[in-house]
Amino acid sequence: MRCCLITDEGIDTESFYLLQDADIDKMIPKMGPRLKFKKLLSQLKAEQTPNESTHHFPPHVLPSTNDMGKRKSDQQLDSNGQQAAKRKCETNSSAETEAKILTNVRNTMGGICAMLQDDSDLNTLLKTKIKNLETETKELVGVFGKTGAGKTSLINAVLEERNLLPSGSVSACTSVMIKVEGNRHNEKYEAEIEFISPEDWEDELGSLHCIIKKGNQEVQDNVDDSDEEYHDAVDKLSALYEEEWREKSCEQLMESKYFKEIPEFFQSRSKNLIFESAKDLSADIVKYTKDSPKNKNYNKIKQWYWPLVKCVTVRVPNHPSLQHVTLVDLPGNGDRNKSRDTMWKGIVGDCSTVWVVTEVNRAAAEQESWDILKNVASQIGNGGECRHIHIVCTKSDDIDDSDVTTKAETQALILKRNAETKERVTKEFNKLDKIKKHFSDECFQVFTVSSREFFRKRDLSPEDTEIPNLQEFLQNLNDCHSETLNYVSGAHGILSLIHGASRRKEDDRIKEVFEALEKNLTLQIESITNEMMKIYNVFEEHLQEGVERSKNSYENILRSTLYPHKRDGRGFHKQLKKAVENRGVHRPKKGREMNININLTSHLADSIDEEFRTTFPNDGKCGPFKGVIYSFSLVTEELKEKYKDVELQLVSLKSEEERLKTSLNKSIRKRKKTVYRSLIKTIEETLQDCYKSKKMIKL
């Protein structure tokens, strides 16, 4: 297990357990906290088994090369799934150990905080720092894919919860987002149903009635033109009101009798449900997440509430890989409802990983999957924080094996086809130049998985289904955010500050250290300023080029958008009209969206995409602004060596420095998304009057 350094220099994992009484006396001068810390350390030492003694802290960081090699060799020795079970058991044990460490250190810091009675500047600072030790981080994994591609089966298999999310014969509802995260509070399965507001639904009712009225008029006029918007409107109203909506006004459809089972809807709060098992949860949430199916198992359900639902959050107990990771089953194109669409954009932009799910037999040729990736590329790339794009090819066991007679032959046939699929999909991805501007080559990966075979183990071993590969990826993603490591690291900095303050003396030595730090600060700021100016000049040059290209081409862009070649005039005019009515965007259920705003900003975005990605990389290897923030440091090794008598103060300063850099990088990541999206937002706001007057339709 890789040893996690608590600070760049100081107490690491091994030396933490080698602390002696004299060391602790030096570090914690006050008796109360010192006694508590000694008791804590004694308990932790007693809990270590011989096997654990080589890795005192749990593996909440990415595994080292040695660990990866060991894991690989273990898997080669055990191909019947025993290694997966063993790994899960070890992970659970590590999580329990980490929880104990975190609880004990929290108790210690709580005791120290309680002792800081007076409101001196130092005590106020210390209490604030102890309070700020509590941090919550989440990695979002967005799961996209067309209906029937196997998204829910994939999520169920990865979490080893066969009955968690409803799937199979139940029709998918494209508008409801489903989050799956760990339940860290109890042993129950929980579901939180978040509704759109009553005002939003009342507005939507008016829009749905208008759509249906227009559709009925077209039928009367013998217009043979199937309109998915019309059918969607009928499906939504029928799901919630059955056939009653046909004879009711919008005002009547808002009566409370239709919402008896969900009083939370009118109270503008979430509905919380608690279950003993995944199966019970799945059976109950189906009416909030899926369309009404023609299935006798659901005949008792009279109302389907998914038209009112914005998001469903499912919480799973005892799942180590979901402590800091949330899986989100997402629609590929956002939503016509404004509140759902706003939430969709926010979640998509926050995804650090995207899984595009498609069936293995059509993975390379399936246009809809590539359209999904094209639609979200700018929002997850420069406009987001995505570091990993995975094409997950499902149903990898689905193969014609009529000419084979043995299990080994079937397995060989499946694995051969899967390898060929990976090669073809990678080849297709490499053709997408505009998408690749947003991502590095290392971020793309293809998986060929079989959720069915992972559970039944008939033709493929668990490892050959590649579900364990995705599980390991999620665990590693989760382990990048060790709550315990962050807390203990911060606690160490605070203890260093306390001890250093107790020994502080006002002498020339202190002034000398202060001057050295000031000198370092001046040099570091100068370095950052120089790099920022270089970046500013590069962006200004690229943006000027983009502006000139946009000026020279906007008429052609508009003309090609409004009058595309080889398109049916009447059908396209309807799509254009819908786009104009929806602030320049038309999102069909299938295929690429029409986005007038993106088309008009295309040259401007193209001019900065590559420079923007290298300046604000999502992968986190060097950090924003070409690494100048990551390399910033006041406290150098030379300072620590030269001024041993104030080493603890310098350790504390280093801890604070790391905290501030982490906070700053988080802030930059958030702001860079706002900056990049401002291109489209500006165009959208500028064209609002044009969209409202529908001048484009008359062009």
In the prediction, which pLDDT does 72 show? Answer: 37
pLDDT above 90 coverage of the chain, percent: 39
The span from the CA of 672 to the CA of 173, in Å, is 33
Over residues 247-292, the pLDDT tens digits come to 999 999 999 999 999 999 999 999 999 999 999 999 999 999 876 6
Q: Where are the domains of the chain?
A: 1-39, 139-197+268-400+407-480, 199-218+226-258, 486-698
For residues 633-659, average pLDDT? 83
- CATH code at 139-197+268-400+407-480: 3.40.50.300
How many angstroms separate the CA atoms of 629 and 627, rounded?
6
Taken in order 654, 659, 660, 664, the sign of the CA dihedral is positive
Sole residue written with tokens 């339940």: 183
Nearest CA to 389 out of 357, 419, 359 is that of: 357
* Cβ count near 235 (within 10 Å): 17
DSSP of 343-412: HHHHHHHHEEEEEEEEEGGGTTT-HHHHHHHHHHHHHHTTTS---EEEEEEE-TT----TT--SHHHHHH
Most confidently modeled of 26-40, 80-94, 570-584?
Answer: 570-584
Average pLDDT over residues 474-478: 92
**Chain segment 171-210, per-residue pLDDT in tens:** 555 568 999 999 988 999 999 999 999 999 999 999 899 8
CA-CA-CA-CA torsion for 339, 343, 348, 352, nearest 10 degrees? 180
3-state helix, strand and coil shares in percent for the chain, rounded to the nearest 5: 60, 10, 30
* Amino acid 342: pLDDT: 84
Mean pLDDT of 380-390: 94
Sign of torsion, CA 541 542 545 547?
negative
Share of the chain above pLDDT 70, in %: 77
Burial of 227 (0-12, 13-18, 19+ CB in 10 A): middle
Residue with tokens 């986005």: 595
Alpha carbons 201 and 308: distance in angstroms, whole number = 7
Query: How high is the pLDDT of residue 496?
Result: 80
**Alpha-carbon distance 595 to 426, whole Å?**
27
Rg (CA), the chain: 29
DSSP run (H or E) holding 566: none
SS3 112: helix
Dihedral, CA atoms, 255, 257, 258, 261, nearest 10 degrees? 130
What does the pLDDT read at residue 41? 67
Residue 226 has pLDDT above 60, yes or no: no
**pLDDT of 59 strictly over 60:** no
Give the chain's end-to-end CA distance (angstroms, integer). Answer: 66
Could you read off the pLDDT of 287-338 as tens digits, one per residue? 998 766 555 566 678 889 999 999 999 999 989 899 899 999 988 666 667 7
Which pLDDT score is estimated for 167?
A: 73
Q: Does residue 643 sit in helix, strand or coil?
A: coil
